[in-house]
Chain A
Amino acid sequence: MAYQFNFAALEPYWTQFVRGCWLTILLATLAIMVGLMIGIVVALARRSQIKALDFVAVCYIELIRNTPFLVQVFFIYFGLPALGLSFSPWSAAVLALSVNCGAFAAEVIRGGIDAIPRGQYEAGRALGLKPLQIFRYIVLKPALRIIYPALSGQFILALLTTSIVSSISAEELTAIAQSIDTLTFRSFEIYIVATLLYLTMAMLFATIFKAIDRAYFSYPVR
């Protein structure tokens, strides 16, 4: 039996696909931004002198990294209302993605900070720079350079992970594809289109990130 592809049936819905892409990018961007902030705080906590702070940070990182994102989303969206914390699907999605990104970003950022030789800090101090100045003028750029590839990879990963929030019907590309599915019943065609859209977005961002890398971080090291 030959399957009759009918992509024309999807044509009326192209604006919705575009909207889905936009929401997906928006979700990933929000998640990576909030996730970075969480990541910086947690990375600092990991290097803190206070043992309890370090312990809490480790628990957070390990708990998030060793449980499926789907369960994290369900826990936040369906579980937390029992504690009086209710979210709309969209804000639950942003929260879950941010908390998830935060744990991965924390490890990346810690690696970046740890990779700066101690001598750099000492040299900064010897020059009479204040701690914040040392961070701003000496540590930040080389640290950014080290963590940049991992962070840009993290963004693309977040972009792909957003598809899972369709399970709590937060609106993004996958959820929109599913709703078009219920109207047209052209499941296979719809998911082919959605998959290709994800692929295009992922490759587009990978290209942009590579260009940024070349422009800002490709100075000679030695």
Chain B
Amino acid sequence: MIRQFGLNEALFILSGIQATIALSLIAFVGGGIFGLLIALLRTAENKIAGRLAAAYIDFFQGTPLLMQLFLVFYGLPAFGIQVNQWVAVTIGLTLHASAFLGEIWRGSIQAVPLGQMEASRALGLHYKDRLVSVILPQAFRLSIAPTVGFLVQLIKGTSLAAIIGFVELSRSAQIIASTTYKPLLAYGLVAIFYFILCFPLSRLSAMAERRLSVSR
């Protein structure tokens, strides 16, 4: 039976936005925590830690997100860990986000002039105090624009969860497209939903970038 494309169908697609937002937020927060660790390792004086963090970043930036999701989805069961799609996708996206955020924040930390580190060392501050009181607050300002920019990338990235069958915005559009035989409408509509989600963030990122370059 072919369903008509009406308000109910549009609302069904829209309902997928909850999963998209939840997935994006969890991956962003989880990736943020783990990413900060990666950034700190990457900028640490310890050479081995730096190398390991660099390899971690290179792996995630040098392979498709879809492959990363597949590896988690098929890899965990291979080690006897049965997970549902929710968990697999969340883990995959979190790892992905941690590498990208780690690289963004490494750049921000290293963009803070070296003299700041030297000055705080001369003042006798410990590594932790140097980071928390001197370097990170300045790096934070620099990192706002690219971090928000990455959030847009992450939201778009969650659409790949649809490929392994996880129902979010894209997957619900797929479902409606195939039950109503109105793919143009379904995918057009879901594109608009993504746009409404991403466009303000993109603007915000561009604004932050402009404001920062003016003040410097």
Contact = CB atoms under 8 A, between A and B. Distances in A.
Interface of A: 1, 3, 62-63, 65-72, 74-75, 78-83, 156, 160-164, 166-167, 174, 187-188, 191-192, 194-195, 198-199, 202-203, 206
Interface string B58-88: 1101111111101100110011100000000
Interface in B139-195: 152, 155-160, 162-163, 170, 173-174, 177, 182-184, 186-188, 190-191, 194-195
A156 B79 CA distance: 31
Residue with the greatest number of chain B CB neighbours at <10 A, chosen from A66, A74, A174, A199: A66
Nearest to B163: A167
Given A70-B162, A75-B187, A191-B74, A174 B79 contact: no
Contact of B67 (A75, A80, A163, A167): A163
A71 B63 contact: no
B199 interface: yes
Nearest to B178: A78
Contacts of B67: 163, 174, 191, 194-195, 198
Interface core residue of A68, A162, A191 (most chain B CB under 10 Å): A68
B94 interface: no
B194 A198 contact: no
7 nearest CB pairs, A to B: A68-B159, A163-B64, A78-B183, A66-B198, A79-B184, A202-B62, A68-B156
A182 to B, nearest CB: 13
Interface residues of B, number: 43
22 contacts: A66-B198, A67-B194, A68-B156, A68-B170, A68-B194, A70-B162, A71-B159, A71-B187, A74-B177, A79-B186, A80-B184, A81-B183, A156-B62, A160-B62, A160-B64, A163-B64, A188-B78, A191-B67, A195-B70, A202-B61, A203-B58, A206-B62
Nearest to A5: B78
A160 B159 CA distance: 15
B17 to A, nearest CB: 13
A67 B63 contact: no
